[in-house]
Amino acid sequence: MLNRRSVLLASLAAGVAMSSKAHAGPSQPATPVNFDVPAHACDCHTHIHGDVDKFPFFAGRVYTPEPASPEQMAALHKALHVERVVIVTPSVYGTDNASTLFGMKARGATARGVAVIDDKTTEAQLDAMHADGFRGIRINLATGGISDPNVGRSRFTAAVERMKARGWHVQLYTTLPMISAIKDLVLAAPVPAVFDHFGGLEASLGLEQPGFSDLVALVKSGKAYVKISGAYRSSMLAPDYQDMAPYARALIAANADRVVWGTDWPHPDSSHVEGRKATDIAPLYQIDDGRLLNQLPVWAPDADVRKKILVDNPARLYGF
C-alpha cells in the first residue's frame, strides 16, 4: 500500500522525469551559500554510486540509481565551502561497502564512513573498516518499507550488541512510529543512535504528530543524534521547505549538541513509481544544495549553534 511518503517522493520523481528527457546526473548547487560556513564543516549524509562494472549493485535492491562520483561530490562541497564528509552505504549495495570506501579514499582524511553489515561480517573485517575510517553501521528500514516494531527492535538490539565493544554508533533510516517502538532500547543502549532525515517525520502532520515528541526526548537525553537532512523527503514545499523550520528548531532547542546536518547528495530516488522496475534507472532528484544549506541560518540563527551542528558534533560523533 502506498503511504503519503511514497506519494510525495513519487510526485517529486515524476517532476524530475518530466523536467528532462535524459538523466541529468547528480545535481550541483545553483544558489551561492549566503552565510559564513565555519572551518571544518561536515556534510554528514552522502552516497557514492561508483562505476557499476567495478561496484555492482545488490541483486535484491528496490531501485537503481544513476552514477555519482567522488569528483562530483568534491565539486559539490567546494561550492558549499564544506571540508568534511560522511559517506553512507546505500541499500542498493546490500552489505558491500566497497563503493563507499572508494569515495572515502578519494577524499582522504576528511572523510568518514557508515557501513552496512550482516551476521557474516567478521570482527576482523570491522577492525579493517575502522582503520579505513568507518565509524558506524546503518540499519535501513525505510527503503524496504519495514514497519514491524518487532523487526526494528530485533535489528537494533543486534546492531548495538555488535557495536558496543568498539564504540561505533548505530544509524537508522526509519519512521517516527518505529522510533517510538525502540525508544526504550535507545535510552538503554551503550552506543549512540543516529536518526536519518529528521527521523522520517511528515511535515504536514504538525509538531504533535505521533512519535515526534519521542524523537525530541531522545535527542534531549543525549542518547540519540538526529540528522537535519533530506528536508525534501518530508516536505512538499519546494524549494525552501519552510514547513521544516519548526521541526528543525524544536530538535535544536532540545539539544544542540546532538544535531548534525547533511545534504543527502546525490539525492537518490528509492520511491515506488508505477511501471518502474528495480533494475530501471531511477533519475536522481535535482535538489539545489546551496539553497538547502541556506536554510540552516533560518533554523539556527546563532553562529555558535551552527558551528556545533556543522563542526563540533560531527567531530565528536565520527572521530575527526
The one-letter code for the residue type at 92 is: V
Contacts of 293 (CB under 8 A, 6+ apart): 29, 33, 37, 80, 261, 263
Catalytic site includes residue 53: no
User: Which helix H or strand E contains 115, and what residues bound it?
Assistant: strand 111-115
Task: Give the separation between CA 132 and CA 49, rounded to whole angstroms.
Answer: 18
Q: 43, 196, 264, 269: which is the annotated catalytic residue?
A: 264
Hey, what's the cell of 103?
569515495
In whole angstroms, give the CA distance from residue 54 to residue 101: 13
Q: Give the side-chain half-sphere CA count within 13 A for 184.
A: 4
Strand partners, 140: 173
- List Cβ neighbours of 242 (8 Å cut-off, separation of 6 or more): none
Q: Which residues have a catalytic role annotated?
A: 264
